[in-house]
């Protein structure tokens, strides 16, 4: 019998109506649709309290999101939708599009922006916005069928496409004009703060963005895989 494939759903999406499977199934098989699981009052209250504390620290411009746990492993309890990061001087760095992630992860992102990204870009015109490649998305790792659940499916990860400065300059892992020292600073800061960081050279799926999450592993194991470009060779002057 063909293995049943879980349907990928947005966290807060209503359950869809049944439809024919995309691939032929055994005549006794049925398309499987995820089921929304109940959340205990205790778990919801604890998550709400944590998110309230995170928002009270005024690092984020964000709104609480509805808890949603699905029986296919997707979803989270205690997450927010971030529209911007508030810097220490009161200015804001916009996230475009907004990111839906767990409150603990959201605060880690805010701290990374405030403590790592701002100093790393201090020599430029100031950060206007961050281009988000992905946040919550109910899917397997790297969208590979049969792979383990991605941390994106647990609202525990964010992917960064580019950092846009106030003068319009864009910096990113696949933007040739990005200074190598800036990429090195971004990598160092991210790997110090997050338990997983993936960039170019990691697995073939992160060549145009970098990934950060707070996955928990045995023994506190951390993963930092991001190959920086080789520095340019010094100019050679013809011998006289």
Question: Domain boundaries in the chain?
Answer: 36-225
Residues contacting 77, CB < 8 A, separation 6+ = 39, 43, 44, 47, 67, 69
The pLDDT of residue 90 is 95
Q: Closest Cα partner for 60 from 32, 25, 98?
A: 98
Interatomic CA distance for residues 76 and 154, integer angstroms: 6
DSSP secondary structure letter of residue 11: T
Q: End-to-end alpha-carbon separation of the chain, Å?
A: 76
The pLDDT of residue 200 is 97
Residues contacting 228, CB < 8 A, separation 6+ = 180, 183, 184, 187
Burial class (CB in 10 A: 0-12, 13-18, 19+), 190: buried
Interatomic CA distance for residues 174 and 184, integer angstroms: 14
Interatomic CA distance for residues 191 and 235, integer angstroms: 33
Query: How far from the centroid of its chain's Cα atoms is residue 195's Cα?
Result: 12
Angle between helices 103-112 and 180-193 (to 10 degrees): 140
Strands (E), the chain: 36-37, 60-65, 68-70, 75-76, 79-86, 92-102, 127-134, 157-165, 170-171, 196-198, 210-213, 223-225
Residues contacting 217, CB < 8 A, separation 6+ = 195
The pLDDT of residue 184 is 97
The pLDDT of residue 21 is 40
HEC assignment per residue over 198-209: ECCCCCCCCCCC
pLDDT block averages, 10 residues each, the chain of length 240:
42 40 45 83 94 97 92 92 97 97 97 96 95 93 83 96 97 96 96 97 95 94 95 66
The pLDDT of residue 238 is 61
Helix (H/G/I), strand (E/B), else coil: 56: helix
Which pairing describes strands 92-102 and 127-134: parallel, antiparallel, or unpaired?
A: parallel
């Amino acid at each position: 019998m063909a293995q049943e494939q879980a349907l990928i759903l947005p966290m807060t999406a209503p359950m869809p109506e049944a439809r024919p499977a995309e691939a032929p199934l055994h005549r006794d098989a049925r398309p499987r649709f995820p089921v929304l699981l109940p959340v205990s009052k205790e778990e919801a209250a604890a998550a709400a309290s944590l998110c309230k504390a995170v928002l009270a620290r005024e690092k984020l411009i964000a709104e609480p999101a509805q808890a949603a746990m699905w029986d296919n492993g997707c979803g989270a309890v205690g997450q927010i939708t971030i529209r911007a990061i508030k810097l220490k001087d009161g200015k804001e760095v916009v996230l475009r599009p907004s990111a839906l992630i767990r409150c603990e992860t959201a605060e880690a992102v805010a701290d990374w922006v405030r403590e790592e990204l701002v100093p790393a870009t201090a020599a430029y015109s100031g950060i206007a916005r961050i281009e988000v490649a992905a946040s919550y998305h109910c899917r397997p790792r790297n969208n590979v069928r049969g792979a383990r659940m991605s941390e994106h499916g647990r609202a525990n990860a964010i992917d960064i496409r580019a950092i846009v400065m106030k003068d319009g300059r864009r910096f990113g892992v696949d933007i040739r004009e990005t200074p190598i020292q800036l990429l090195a600073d971004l990598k160092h800061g991210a790997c110090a703060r997050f338990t997983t960081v993936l960039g170019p050279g990691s697995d073939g799926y992160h060549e145009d963005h970098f990934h950060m999450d707070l996955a928990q592993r045995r023994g506190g194991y951390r993963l930092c895989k991001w190959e920086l470009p080789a520095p340019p060779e010094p100019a050679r002057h013809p011998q006289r």
